Chains A and B, each alone.
Chain A
């Protein structure tokens, strides 16, 4: 994934400084991990508004770095929360958790 992100940062965003790329990718991973953790807590509390916001925010970050699968699942959380569908949210959160492991 890292190479994919590096390529995206270079080609799409014109960021070709390797150190800066590492910083951005590291920040994305942190954001991703934190989001998954927070989403789980929000799901446990059935806090749909919080879930919607978290899904929306992660979706923006994923879009920004070109992470299509991440964006799709984050959108799934946002949509599930909007529909008050806890099961759908939980399913998308687990997919995101799996993705987070692959980002390591």
Chain B
């Protein structure tokens, strides 16, 4: 032990025992506080940091076990040594009661100084070690929180619309942080570089490597002319990075693709990653983009690995092609903690085909993750990610309003104004336009934003889609706020109740839900495995149920 004094609290209703223990410990590295009543001992405990407690069991007022309960309300792990007349009293039930608590011990009342010091030394050291571990755990937890923030800040937003294409993704680290990688770097208004990767292992090691890879990719694309970017070259650079800078302590399966949505052309190179799944959105039919299985070794496995241009896959695709990228953690999702059998590829493809055919593209990763959970695959054994990309049909912006909105009041106001302009142009109705603007503004500011503020900024993008329907305008809001995540709201009454509560407690403008209800009598809400979908129908005026303007 070091020179420091350890604070020991001794409780016994016999003054003689208190004196003996104190005298015994007088010359040791201990500072002894004695009490002959549990209440006094508890008060002393509250006022000072103790390293161990010695307590009698059978006492007149509060017995030793009740005293232990009182202490455990304040400290779950401080060691408590019960002094017993071991030879005479100890039996299984007493031992069981003592040992019911993981941090309780016992010592015979005919202890010697040596046995007392040995026991105290043992428990104090154990307690110290546990405290150090606990502090280390807290530090690791705090570092992990920061790492999670950093990592998610480096990822693209979960949804992104350009004028020509869109993507969305689900990113599921096994523990807070992940070695899965998705990078999206726009090259021109109609083309982009996407990198999907999976670094060996998981946790901090692979997450650090993942963060480094994202930086390298940003550097590479910053210093190269857009026209010279080629998947094989990028992979060579990444391989050099893994072999030289990371000293081959990790490797990464990786798929690097350059999508040209203007020319409907994709060039990609697969370095040991699960290949892309491709579907036709109209039919849900899938097709194999790489029937000849071109590809190379994962990066970081072999210093001299070649990533020849001839192994690039070139694909001409149709406007309705949906690209689905994923990491192989998907195949390790089990049905219970000891099961890593994973879903089979065929089942997954069938689920994906149905999702692609029947649902809006942005929702697909969430719908697939949800579908897997629904059929029992709810226990991931590895990080996994699901990313979907699709070209937007030309002129889609004339009939469909798509916007990702950051969690920012000014951005929400701008988006609401843009939505109003879109609705007016689409319907010619100033009334619908005005209602849309107010509804969006009210809902996003007073409901969604507050829910998201309770969550992490990494998921703070809100997606809004607006289109015309027979009754008027259909507004769909997708958000990833935790606030709604586990609520089971199937009835309109429940929804009303929730919305009203949110509005009452959170509304900034003071109008909130009553106003939203007036503007849209039809509201529905669903939760799609991490994604909240709320739809509003804003109707034409009753006296003019047809088109007001056009």
A interface, CB within 8 angstroms of B: 12-15, 17, 20, 23-24, 27-28, 31, 53, 56-57, 59-61, 63-66, 71, 75, 78
Contacts and interface: CB of A to CB of B under 8 A. Distances in A.
17 contacts: A13-B24, A13-B112, A15-B113, A17-B23, A20-B26, A24-B23, A27-B19, A31-B14, A31-B15, A31-B16, A53-B58, A57-B14, A60-B14, A60-B83, A61-B14, A61-B17, A71-B85
Interface in B202-225: none
| Residue with the highest number of chain A CB atoms closer than 10 Å, among B13, B16, B83, B109 | B16
Contacts of A20: 23, 26
B3 interface: no
Contacts, number: 67
A56 B85 contact: yes
B58 A64 contact: no
Nearest to B84: A60
A13 B56 CA distance: 18
Given A28-B16, A31-B15, A64-B16, A15 B108 contact: no
B310 interface: no
A68 to B, nearest CB: 9
Given A12-B112, A15-B113, 18 more contacts: A12-B113, A14-B24, A15-B23, A15-B24, A17-B23, A27-B16, A57-B58, A60-B56, A60-B85, A60-B109, A61-B14, A61-B16, A61-B17, A63-B109, A64-B17, A65-B16, A75-B88, A78-B88
Contact of B13 (A24, A57, A59, A75): A57
A63 B20 contact: no
A41 B222 CA distance: 95
A98 B282 CA distance: 105
For chain B, which range describes its interface: under 10, 10 to 19, 20 to 34, or 35 or more residues?
20 to 34
B17 A60 contact: yes
B304 interface: no
Interface of B: 13-17, 19-20, 23-24, 26-27, 56, 58, 60, 83, 85, 88-89, 108-114
Contact of A63 (B23, B24, B110, B114): B110
B113 A24 contact: no
B116 to A, nearest CB: 8
Contact of B20 (A57, A59, A64, A75): A64
List of 6 A-B pairs having minimum Cβ-Cβ separation, nearest first = A14-B113, A63-B110, A63-B109, A60-B109, A31-B16, A15-B23
Contacts of B83: 60
B88 A24 contact: no
Given A27-B16, A31-B14, A13 B110 contact: no
A56 B23 contact: no
Contacts of A64: 16-17, 20, 109-111
A10 B27 CA distance: 13
A65 B20 contact: yes
Contacts of A60: 14, 17, 56, 83, 85, 109
B16 A59 contact: no
| Residue with the highest number of chain B CB atoms closer than 10 Å, among A56, A57, A59, A64 | A64
B85 A63 contact: yes
A23 B19 contact: yes
Nearest to A52: B58
Contacts of B58: 53, 56-57
A28 B18 CA distance: 11
A27 to B, nearest CB: 5
